[in-house]
Structure 1
Amino acid sequence: METQLDYLIRLVEAVIYGGLVGYERQLRLKSAGIRTHILITLGAALMMLISKYGFFDMLNHAQVDLDPSRVASQVVSSIGFIGVGAILTYRHGIEGLTTSASIWCVTAIGLAVGAGMHFLAFTATILILLIQILLHHRHFLDGLPGALEGRLIVHLKGDTRMMEKIVEELRSQKIKKLQAIVLAYDSENLIFKLNFIIQTEEELSFIVIFLSQYKQITEVENVKSL
């Protein structure tokens, strides 16, 4: 017979698994990080516990038929709204598909924990982490914990030559995997995105301060893609 302590342990287990996946997302500067993934996994586990064990007192009534999968199916349907909210469209580019998928996956992990399928939930968590870390870049080492992916949108009063000069000076600062992508431009203004790899968030602040020395740069946006 399940006890309240068993339920509590399952909730803590869900928090741990959701936190692990959320930690990887937060390392990559995604706004859907540890707290978001923990709350989703915890909520899914709690919903499954309520669905599976919360109506035992009703079983004594005649003609009462309980189906725990009904609550689970509603959780899967409702998480789609959060998943869609994690997908952003910015200047004809799409961001957040991977994090949206991870939100969907941690929901399933929470349901598995709530249902008592501990080994399945643990295995799924490990697989998600391996996929997110190892397959995030073409070179596996770039995706190991400690390597953060930064993205900045830079508004520049100038042309591509000025952009190239800025990029080269950034490269001289030993910024890893630095890439510049032009998003929009006209005769006087240029908007481009900088993608790069850093080791700490302090390095991101350094890059922003470094860019601020250019009078031609009017705005720098920190893009926390989901």
Structure 2
Amino acid sequence: METQIDYFLRLLEAAVYGGLVGYERQLRLKSAGIRTHMLIALGAALMMIISKYAFFDVLSYSQVDLDPSRVASQVVSSIGFIGVGAILTYRHGVEGLTTSASIWCVTAIGLAVGAGMHLLALFATVLILLVQILLHQRNFLDGLPGSLEGRLIVHLKGDTQMMEKIVNELRNKKVKKLQAIVLAYDSENLIFKLNFTIQREEELSFIVISLSQYEQITEVENVKTL
């Protein structure tokens, strides 16, 4: 028979696996990074544990004939509509992915409490808070290689050749994993997004200062990461 300790270890294991996948995605400059993947994996594990073990006391009665796992599966399907509502597109970026994932996890916590699995729900809450608070602090991941991602929206009075010149000069200044994506372009103006990785916040300031030296650049926007 599984114990509460077994459940705790499964949650930890799921969070670690999700974090590893999220770390790989973050290194590739994807919107959903470490925190989002950890929360999704943690929530899925919690819902699976609830589906398998939360209803043994009900099934012990001979007159009861039901499929308790349907409760968790239906909640998983329906909570997606609320989660999507937390995702917004704003100034060429996406915000709300982590919020959507946390909504999903909180739903699982509610299922656990309703099933009488109080210690499991408490432990999951603590894990989610640690993920949200600690990993939200950029300096918490400073020791990891390529742990921080940066996104800048650059407004340029020029063409793609000027953009390529700026990108090449930034690469010569050792900006890591630099990518340029054109967002809008007409005969006189160009808007493009720069994706890159940094180790410290000071490196982001260095890049912004480097861009400000070009007279053709009229605006630089810092896009929030998730």
Pairwise CA RMSD: 4.0
| Residue aligning to 1:159 | 158
Per-residue Cα deviation, 1:104-157 (whole angstroms, up to 9, x for no partner): xxx9xx9xxxxxxxxxxxxxxxxxxxxxxxxxxxxxxxxxx945775432111x
Structure-2 change in CA distance of 1:29 and 1:224 (3 Å): farther
Contact 2:29 2:195 in 1 (8 A): no
TM-score (structure 2 length as normaliser): 0.58
Unaligned runs of 5+ in 1: 111-144
Measure the CA separation in 2 of the matches of 1:224 and 1:78: 28
**TM-score, structure 1 length as denominator?**
0.58
Compared CA separation, residues 180 and 30, structure 1 to 2 (3 A): closer
| 2:70 corresponds to | 70
Change (3 A) 1:176 1:29: closer
* 1:20 lines up with 2:20 in the alignment: yes
On the 8 A contact 1:47/1:71 being kept in 2, the answer is no
- Residue of structure 1 in register with 2:39 after alignment: 39
Q: For 1:18 and 1:184, how far apart are their aligned partners in 2?
A: 35
Is the contact between residue 55 and residue 68 of structure 2 (CA under 8 Å) also seen in structure 1?
no
Q: Is the 8 A contact 1:48 1:71 kept in 2?
A: no
Q: Partners of 1:12 and 1:45 in 2: how far apart?
A: 9
- Residue 45 of structure 1: how far off its partner (Å): 1.7
Counterpart residue type for residue 221 of structure 1? E
Please say if residues 155 and 192 of structure 1, whose CA atoms lie closer than 8 Å, have aligned partners that are also in contact: yes
Aligned pairs for 1:1-150 (under 5 A) are 1-74=1-74, 76-78=76-78, 80-81=80-81, 82=83, 146=145
CA separation in 2, counterparts of 1:155 and 1:211?
10
Look up the equivalent residue of 2:51 and give its one-letter code: S
Distance 1:206 1:78, change over 3 A: farther
CA spacing shift, 1:7–1:171, aligned 2, 3 Å: closer
User: Could you tell me how far apart the structure 2 residues matched to 1:150 and 1:28 are?
Assistant: 11
What is residue 140 of structure 2 aligned with on the other side?
none
- Which sections of structure 2, spanning at least 5 residues, go unmatched? 109-143
Instruction: Give the Cα–Cα distance (whole angstroms) in 2 for the partners of residues 180 and 43 of structure 1.
Output: 35
Take 2:48 and 2:68, find their aligned partners in 1: how far apart are those partners?
7
Are residues 181 and 42 of structure 1, via their aligned partners in 2, closer, same or farther at CA, if it must alter by over 3 Å?
A: closer
Name the counterpart of 2:111.
none
CA deviation map 1:31-81 (0-9, x unaligned): 532222222222222222222211222123343224254245335524644
Write the distance in 2 (CA, Å) between the matches of 1:175 and 1:35. Answer: 25
Shift of 1:195: 4.6
Whole-Å separation in 2 of the counterparts to 1:36 and 1:177: 22
Letter in 1 for 2:199: T
Percent of aligned positions with the same letter in both sequences? 72
- 2:199 maps to what in 1? 200
Figure out how many residues of one structure are paired with residues of the other and give that number: 179
Structure 1's 168 and 67: CA in aligned 2 closer, same or farther, altered over 3 A?
same
How far apart are residue 191 of structure 1 and its match?
1.1
